[in-house]
Structure 1
């Protein structure tokens, strides 16, 4: 087995393997990875779990998960929002969910160097990205959902579009790797990045949610001093010392996945010390079998919901890999070498000094 991530003094490699094994134990014969045994599958969390399997050396299991994506992709390039036991429960398509396979596929290629896998999965990524960009507006944002009849809801989400930003960068990297350049994607990425950095007004306000706080950094739209400033400006709203990160700023509920995603965001802007502290804190959610409980209501000391979700364990594995720099895919969220897209050069807001207070840099 390849080297397995570990964070010294916090999470040994053997425990990371236990967590990956707990994810693999839930994987269905089809390759699908539901939230938990008997739970539903969605494309985003399925991919996150597959990435953890790759990082922990469960390569065959990961490829089985990606093959499930290839086999279940719909003709228009999308996947259903929710599947349970092989049956579609919600036929709508979440654009962020449909874009995210590009991240997982680029990650698995980075870990394995398997060009055959890249060639096999390239058509999947191409169709998925074309589907997602089919609902991008002229301003750059992407509507978050299409219903079963293909109608959009007229609503763009900051966290979802930030994740799509990362997905487009990975998709462009894959396109370059397989020798199929996509200049239209570069333009789309540039427009989306511009909207994320300079036009918060186009996104539905979700300021209560920690994901809207850190996802512009996790998705790569903000980095450097601007990213650090955004994270630390609302640190006290979301971070509970010794426990992790609130999912919502007005609820006494810390969650493992959000905490580990903040760890990845901090790592991406070079803030290792608080990242390790948060990673250490969230280990209170670990179950003896290696899985992780979704969250804790710290006001009464109860784990809620009473679920040990595959994607929470997956976030822990990916954070461990990022902090330890173990696998070739450990930099997937730092994204230092990923394409940045075509910069937007003609926009009135770029010439107006008065809009700076409304940008993501100064929320």
Structure 2
């Protein structure tokens, strides 16, 4: 485990890479809304108010009329015009987190129109079955498919948006319905999503985003534990490469904490500390066959995931329960869908047999 002072130092490593316009970039220089928001949440935990203020101003300044953000911006200039739904949805999670941490009602009220436009953009790309397609392209055409990781994150964003709406006295029941329908698809319809199963994110994200909880979550996490977890090092980014990454490991920590499995959460968080740099930042990953950092970079989004995981485990801020408390077990009526599956566990077809129970 790391100390509060070390957490602050890690958040300061994010502030150190923030650009003059408020954007928080990837190592190669572009900014996208999702990773930007993740970094703002981490800096909020550490009390870095001015970088956070500038970061939310960046979001407000680059939101488009349809509620979305360009997929990538470099020096404030859009370089990829597609608008990802999970990018837009995560802004709601960020604003709700900021409200929990700071209690700044004036900021929340100022940010509300931005959140409303973002989540209406997201909800407008939901299919009849309930999944939300991953983007609208530069010509305004909706994508032909949805992504499981992205939809899991969108589910959390919609739930946070509902909490914001209720808190501000401006209910948005269509978001709640969209979240319920999405939770059902995440839990019961794996065929709705493109196959990205080699990525660890597609394994744990239905739990992290709150769509799958309880016994079903334990079963899901147990199912691919041996595939992705490398004892003593963290978790693989992809199943077929000897490469562990700190961000994915810390997201799994958050998922484990959300379902009360704090023992394994603490162990994994401790395991990943081998990627900590002396300045408080974190290497993105470790190629354990070649014994080299890969890629050879220390990324802001990685540091942000570490801070959020530390906050969940140590309860450093009033926002420490963000992933734990957004429990989205749907009340969606399966008869409406017609599948009769309710919100049972998300079971990939290749893993439908041989469940190992609830524990590790």
Instruction: Assess same fold via TM > 0.5.
Output: yes
Q: State yes or no: 1:117 paired with 2:107.
A: yes
**Whole-Å separation in 1 of the counterparts to 2:96 and 2:11:** 19
Q: C-alpha root-mean-square deviation of aligned residues, in Å?
A: 2.1
Q: Is the 8 A contact 1:35 1:311 kept in 2?
A: yes
Q: State yes or no: 1:19 paired with 2:17.
A: no
Alignment deviations for residues 253-293 of structure 1 (CA, whole Å, 9 cap, x no partner): 00010000000000011000111111001011111111111
Q: 1:68 to 1:340 in 2, by over 3 A?
A: farther
Q: Is the 8 A contact 1:80 1:90 kept in 2?
A: yes
Structure-2 residue corresponding to 1:152:
142
What SS class does the counterpart of residue 291 from structure 1 fall into? Answer: coil
**Whole-Å separation in 1 of the counterparts to 2:263 and 2:34:** 29
Following superposition, the deviation at residue 355 of structure 1 comes to 10
Following superposition, the deviation at residue 86 of structure 1 comes to 1.2
Q: Is the 8 A contact 2:220 2:346 kept in 1?
A: no
Q: Is the 8 A contact 1:199 1:359 kept in 2?
A: no
Following superposition, the deviation at residue 326 of structure 1 comes to 2.0
Following superposition, the deviation at residue 348 of structure 1 comes to 2.2
Structure-2 residue corresponding to 1:343:
332
Q: Is the 8 A contact 2:33 2:87 kept in 1?
A: yes
Following superposition, the deviation at residue 185 of structure 1 comes to 1.1
Following superposition, the deviation at residue 339 of structure 1 comes to 6.7
**Whole-Å separation in 2 of the counterparts to 1:257 and 1:307:** 13
* 2:154 counterpart (155, 161, 164): 164
Structure-1 residue corresponding to 2:358:
none
What SS class does the counterpart of residue 226 from structure 2 fall into? Answer: helix
Q: 1:106 to 1:340 in 2, by over 3 A?
A: farther
Q: 1:13 to 1:349 in 2, by over 3 A?
A: same
**Whole-Å separation in 2 of the counterparts to 1:52 and 1:341:** 29
Query: Aligned runs of 1:164-183 on 2, under 5 Å?
Result: 164-183=154-173
**Whole-Å separation in 2 of the counterparts to 1:295 and 1:73:** 31
Structure-2 residue corresponding to 1:4:
none
Q: Is the 8 A contact 2:100 2:318 kept in 1?
A: yes
**Whole-Å separation in 2 of the counterparts to 1:141 and 1:60:** 37
Alignment deviations for residues 134-186 of structure 1 (CA, whole Å, 9 cap, x no partner): 11101110110111111122010111000000000001100111111011111
Q: 1:175 to 1:12 in 2, by over 3 A?
A: same
Structure-1 residue corresponding to 2:357:
none
Following superposition, the deviation at residue 60 of structure 1 comes to 2.2
Query: Aligned runs of 1:185-204 on 2, under 5 Å?
Result: 185-204=175-194
TM score, norm. by length of structure 2: 0.93
Q: Is the 8 A contact 2:155 2:182 kept in 1?
A: yes
Q: State yes or no: 1:323 paired with 2:301.
A: no
* 2:237 counterpart (247, 252, 257): 247
Q: Is the 8 A contact 1:211 1:247 kept in 2?
A: yes
What SS class does the counterpart of residue 89 from structure 1 fall into? Answer: strand
**Whole-Å separation in 2 of the counterparts to 1:203 and 1:292:** 32
**Whole-Å separation in 2 of the counterparts to 1:359 and 1:189:** 24
Q: State yes or no: 1:217 paired with 2:241.
A: no
**Whole-Å separation in 2 of the counterparts to 1:232 and 1:55:** 30
Q: 1:49 to 1:355 in 2, by over 3 A?
A: closer
Alignment deviations for residues 11-62 of structure 1 (CA, whole Å, 9 cap, x no partner): 11111111111100111121111123x6110000000000000011112211
TM score, norm. by length of structure 1: 0.93
Q: Is the 8 A contact 2:147 2:194 kept in 1?
A: yes
Q: Is the 8 A contact 1:50 1:104 kept in 2?
A: yes
Q: State yes or no: 1:80 paired with 2:70.
A: yes
Alignment deviations for residues 102-121 of structure 1 (CA, whole Å, 9 cap, x no partner): 00100000001111011000
* 1:33 counterpart (24, 36, 50): 24
Alignment deviations for residues 220-267 of structure 1 (CA, whole Å, 9 cap, x no partner): 010111101110111000000000000001100000100000000000
**Whole-Å separation in 2 of the counterparts to 1:104 and 1:63:** 12
What SS class does the counterpart of residue 232 from structure 2 fall into? Answer: coil
